[in-house]
Amino acid sequence: MSFQNPVFIPGPTNIPESLRKACDMPTIDHRSPLFGQILHPAREGVRKVLKSESAEVFIFPSTGTGGWETALTNTLSAGDKILAARNGMFSHRWIDMCQRHGLDVKVVETPWGEGLPADRYEEILTADTNHDIKAVLATHNETATGVKSDIAAVRRALDSAGHPALLFVDGVSSIASMDFRMDEWGVDVAVTGSQKGFMLTAGLAIVGFSAKAMATTKTAKLPRTFFDVHDMAKGYAANAYPYTPAVGLLNGLNEACAILLNEGLDNVFARHTRIAEGVRAAVGAWGLELCAANPSVFSDTVSAIKTPEGFNATDIVTHAAEKYGVAFGVGLGEVAGKVFRIGHLGSLTDVMALSGIATAEMCMVDLGLDIKLGSGVAAAQDFYRGNTATAQKDAA
């Protein structure tokens, strides 16, 4: 691996220099008002990135997976019914966590490559006239397959069914890179981590709780200690944590939010759409297809690219690392060996993306795939030339 090249894994993502510096700080007393000056603006910044007026933001020394556990253990009790669809490795792992916590999950099996079936959710919720289902899980962006789902449609499914279940959204690979609207979509718990859209190292679980989710915490009986949001809220009121916070990362998070809000969330999302469109243009020029079933579910943060039958897609990832010092993502679970993934989230420009496309292309040619050197790069160049950030600004 080279420390010079950007990474093209779908998290952890590339860390801007200013964020590395923000994380590198001397020890401070984490029970002092000075810590409050880092903690509270970071929580406020996250709330804005979530597009919420009133969410309670909690930040744990953990990762996205800890954010899932925070959502479940603070709001549910053993035996509670949960509705979830399985359409990739991450939705699968969240379901597995529910089951290990003794929750009763109604799983809607969904082909990998397709989005969450909001219509099936609506049928199931409508049939649940006793309102036994306490929460609906939705993975906004399936990082394993490069599939985004329509969270507004899941909210409509709940509303059409007149169902009061909580809506939990895994936004680990979407939040801060793709449009996410906590309030507008009526999301009750939004979950992410520090190492994807927020462009930091792994180490923070970041969650937003709606007022409704907070109310549910009072009756929820699943055991929780480390991830108890009430202990955390008590700590925050005294500029502290119930334990030792990751101060440097929180300082980095504060700075990351400033960077994102300064660029403008809509500009951040437009940049990710543009970069992703360039990658997709390259995939088309290679004569390959995405795992994502159709354009309505194409992810703007990760592309899972199918390789021809009989070819081991993981070889591309191994070869890229060994020969060119560049990291791509391997296929996971059901699509292991069938796809390789180009991560294009976080701190990335068109020009950086071109280097990843060029590298993927060299690897595929090296490994004997019938692809013309330069074909994907040229398709992406064509796209970026006509759609640069400046060109878009001029058009606006």
Ligand X SMILES: *Cc1c(COP(=O)(O)O)cnc(C)c1O
Please report, as ranges, the residues that interact with ligand X according to CB under 6 A: 11, 63-65, 90, 139, 141, 143, 170, 172-173, 193, 202
CB of 34 to ligand X, least distance (A): 28
Closest by CA position to 23, among listed 42, 8, 7: 42
- Give the Cα separation of 268 and 4 in Å (integer): 24
Specify the DSSP class assigned to residue 335: G
CB of 92 to ligand X, least distance (A): 10
> Residue 348 or residue 377: which is nearer to ligand X going by CB?
348
Q: How far is the CB of 139 from ligand X (least distance, A)?
A: 5
Rounded Cα gap, residues 366 and 374, in angstroms? 13
CB-based burial label for 322 (10 Å; 0-12, 13-18, 19+): exposed
| Closest alpha carbon to 54 in 182, 180, 200 | 182
For residues 172 and 270, which CB has a smaller minimum distance to ligand X in the complex? 172
Q: Name the minimum Å distance from CB 141 to ligand X.
A: 6
Which residue's CB is nearer to ligand X, number 138 or number 281?
Answer: 138
Nearer residue to ligand X within complex by CB, 124 or 137: 137
The residue among 178 and 353 lying less far from ligand X, judged by its C-beta, is: 178
DSSP 342-357: EE--SS--HHHHHHHH
Would you say 63 or 216 has its CB closer to ligand X?
Answer: 63
Smallest distance from the beta carbon of 303 to ligand X, in angstroms? 14
Output the smallest distance, CB 142 to ligand X, in A. 7
Please, what is the Cα angle at 86 between 337 and 293, to 5 degrees? 60
379, two tokens = 């398709």
Closest approach, Cβ 268 to ligand X, in A, equals 17
Query: 147 vs 281, which CB is nearer to ligand X?
Result: 147
User: Closest CB to ligand X belongs to which residue?
Assistant: 64
Q: Specify the residue, 56 or 170, whose C-beta has the smaller distance to ligand X.
A: 170
Residues 6+ apart with CB under 8 A from 145: 87, 88, 112, 113, 291, 292, 304, 335, 339
DSSP state of 321: I
Residue 74 or 173 having the CB closest to ligand X: 173
> Order of strands, edge to edge, in the sheet holding 329-330?
289-290, 302-306, 339-343, 329-330
90/192 Cα distance (integer angstroms): 12
The residue written with tokens 């923070």 in the block is 204
Cβ nearer to ligand X, comparing 154 with 377: 154
**Whole-number Å distance between alpha carbons of 394 and 396:** 6
- Residue 297 neighbours by CB under 8 Å, 6+ apart: 113, 114, 115, 147, 148, 149
CB of 65 to ligand X, least distance (A): 3
β-partners of residue 85 are 108
- The minimum distance between CB 283 and ligand X, in angstroms, equals 20
Query: Considering the complex, what minimum distance in angstroms separates the CB of residue 144 from ligand X?
Result: 8
SS3 state of residue 312: coil
